[in-house]
Amino acid sequence: MARPITLFTGQWADLPLETLAEKATGFGYDGLELACWGDHFEVDKALESDAYFQSRRDILDRHGLKCFAISNHLVGQCVADALIDERHQSILPARLWGDGDPEGVRQRCAEEIKHTARAAAQFGVKVVNGFTGSPVWHMIYRFPPTTDAMVDAGFREFADRWNPILDVFDEVGVKFALEAHPAEIAYDIYTAEKTLDALHHRPAFGFNFDPSHFIHQLFDPVKFIDHFPNRIYHVHVKDAKVRLDGTRSILGSHLNFGDNRRGWDFVSPGRGGLNLDEMIRALNRAHYHGALSVEWEDSGMDREFGAKEAVAVVRRNEFTAAGGLFDSAFASDK
């Protein structure tokens, strides 16, 4: 059975869900991964009334779409970040930002992620994707001198903040899928291992595999799947292109996305370093049967053109695993 191909709505939050759903059907998608911003999936409203859930279901049903995951990246980022500042204020609703006291922000956002798990369960969705924030990201360069003890303490703080959240995920039967990503507690294979160790490998926590964040770090995304085959709880299809030429830096040079001076940038699927064939084969090895969700980001391309092209690219490259060896028929009695 082919995996459903969905569109992550986070980059389309300026459009009402009704409008986006109509467009997504026209583009050729099977469903939507609903973001918890814009009007797409509002956690506070969802928990106030069953009618809100029905309103989301009605929109999806009218356009022949399904929902396999909801995503609360922006709030999750604020749960464990060491530094809370105006960047976080820009991605949070006023009710969560409050007076901006950092620990108050972290605590309110932790409660909101718990509510997100409850809302997902009531909506019939088994996976919440998101970010976690990180108490150690600001130490990435190891200077000023950074000890292993300081890093270990940061991972313990992460676990202390996220374990009570994951207790709620366990209670309601929903899994949390971290999008391993620079600025999160896990951003590559080794930090993902350390993160799972910090949580004692509890099943409630896994990964939203997004290859674009590994391409620009210059390691093979397929190796992440092969390393964590049982922890791939959701998949983003997103691409990145590295453009190192002796003048550009892989660190991004404090230049915004879309600036041609950057050493890498996100591009529409199929136009960067993503080897979709190898990714699909790895997902087949991992027995992943969930959605393939296009997270569309390309500063140099019209997004409607890109979203339509992306679903076609994914569908052309998607295939299920073989039922046996190709030459097994040679041994058939028939």
Q: How many domains are contained in the chain?
A: 1
- What is the three-class DSSP state of 47? coil
Beta strands in 60-117 (DSSP E): 70-71
Dist. CA 327–CA 160, nearest whole Å: 52
pLDDT at 1: 57
**By 3-state DSSP, what share of the chain in percent is helix, strand and coil, each rounded to 5?**
45, 15, 40
pLDDT at 2: 87
Tens digit of pLDDT for each residue in 244-286? 999 999 999 999 999 999 999 999 999 999 999 999 999 999 9
Dist. CA 98–CA 94, nearest whole Å: 6
Dist. CA 53–CA 119, nearest whole Å: 9
Q: In this structure, which amino acid lies at residue 224?
A: F
- What is the three-class DSSP state of 203? coil
Shortest CA distance to 114 belongs to which of 17, 36, 40? 36
Expressed as residue numbers, the domain containing 140 is 5-331
For position 290, which CATH number holds?
A: 3.20.20.150
At 331, the pLDDT band (50, 70, 90 cuts) reads: low
Query: Largest Cα–Cα distance of the chain, in whole Å?
Result: 75
* Mean per-residue pLDDT, 31-58: 96
327: pLDDT strictly greater than 80: no
Q: What is the pTM of this model?
A: 0.96
pLDDT at 281: 98
**DSSP code, position 297:** -
Percent of the chain beyond pLDDT 70? 96
At 322, the pLDDT band (50, 70, 90 cuts) reads: confident
Shortest CA distance to 109 belongs to which of 157, 152, 74? 74
φ/ψ of 70, rounded to 5, equals -120, 160
At 329, the pLDDT band (50, 70, 90 cuts) reads: low
pLDDT at 122: 97
Tens digit of pLDDT for each residue in 185-231? 999 999 999 999 999 999 999 999 999 999 999 999 999 999 999 99
- What is the three-class DSSP state of 159? helix
